[in-house]
């Protein structure tokens, strides 16, 4: 595991400065850019005591290994990888605060753009944590942070060694796990998503792996009226999470 990472993009860097400024080692801003969108970064850095330096666009392109940095690049201490033990700690915290657990499980999502978009959905829906397998899954990369628009710095991402075992463990803590599968008999709008819940989503195309599917308490589908047989995993995740939000608000 690298001890240092690069994070880029206005929302991702601003969220980092607001939530974990101690992780920032160096901060570079595009030379000559002083517009309104950059001012929150400048102010957050100033308040956190983080010094920034100006650099040419080519320098930022090289540091980010991307042209999508929006004029903001930070070199940071790598985030702590959260494990099963950290997940237990969060479950205890939720129980002590009398909060109903709400998790997202992503099985086999290897595209950083999809993980970033799923983290953004999870943050918007009020999910307490996202659980992924250590293998066969993308971790927190610079692209994930950029696409997540700051959510990667807020929503805990738990990388677990054995996903099926972790699922059984949270079930023992009273969390009901609903998995998505195209052939499921009931759909997301018929399911009861109000209690302690984890929604399990598989990668687009492959869906949930057999062991993951068998570890779910129930399976649901998303009704599809058109000729396309599946949705992008981040879109499907948004639909399922916000149906749960709608039921909980009701």
Answer yes or no: is 222 a known binding residue: yes
CB proximity list for 1: less than 8 A, separation 6 or greater = 78, 81
Distance CA 10, CA 5 (A): 16
Distance CA 222, CA 226 (A): 12
Structure tokens at 166: 């972790």
CB proximity list for 132: less than 8 A, separation 6 or greater = 105, 106, 107, 109, 115, 139, 157, 158, 159, 160, 163
Q: CA geometry: angle at 168 spanning 162 and 169, to 5°?
A: 85
Residue 111 backbone dihedrals phi, psi, to 5 degrees: -90, 120
Distance CA 49, CA 211 (A): 48
Answer yes or no: is 231 a known binding residue: yes
Answer yes or no: is 60 a known binding residue: no
Binding region: 202, 222, 231
Binding region for S-adenosyl-L-methionine: 202, 222, 231
């Amino acid at each position: 595991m690298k001890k240092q990472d690069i994070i880029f993009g206005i929302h991702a860097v601003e969220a980092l400065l607001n939530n974990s400024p101690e992780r920032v080692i160096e901060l570079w801003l595009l030379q000559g850019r002083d517009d309104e969108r950059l001012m929150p970064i400048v102010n957050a850095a100033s308040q956190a005591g983080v010094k920034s330096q100006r650099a040419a666009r080519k320098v930022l392109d090289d540091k980010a290994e991307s042209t999508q940095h929006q004029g903001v690049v930070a070199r940071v201490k790598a985030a702590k990888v959260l494990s099963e033990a950290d997940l237990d700690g969060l479950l205890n915290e939720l129980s002590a605060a009398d909060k109903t657990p709400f998790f997202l499980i992503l099985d086999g999502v290897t595209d950083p753009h999809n993980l970033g978009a799923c983290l953004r959905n999870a943050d918007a829906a009020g999910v307490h944590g996202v659980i992924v397998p250590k293998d066969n899954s993308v971790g927190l990369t610079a692209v994930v942070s950029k696409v997540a628009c700051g959510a990667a710095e807020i929503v805990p991402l738990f990388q677990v060694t054995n996903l099926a075992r972790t699922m059984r463990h949270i079930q023992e803590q009273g969390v009901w796990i609903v998995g998505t599968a195209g052939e499921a008999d009931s759909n997301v709008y018929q399911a009861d998503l109000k209690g302690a819940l984890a929604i399990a989503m598989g990668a687009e195309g492959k869906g949930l792996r057999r062991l993951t599917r068998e570890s779910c308490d129930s399976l649901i589908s998303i009704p599809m009226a058109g000729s396309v047989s599946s949705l992008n995993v981040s879109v499907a995740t948004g639909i399922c999470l916000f149906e749960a939000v709608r039921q909980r608000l009701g």
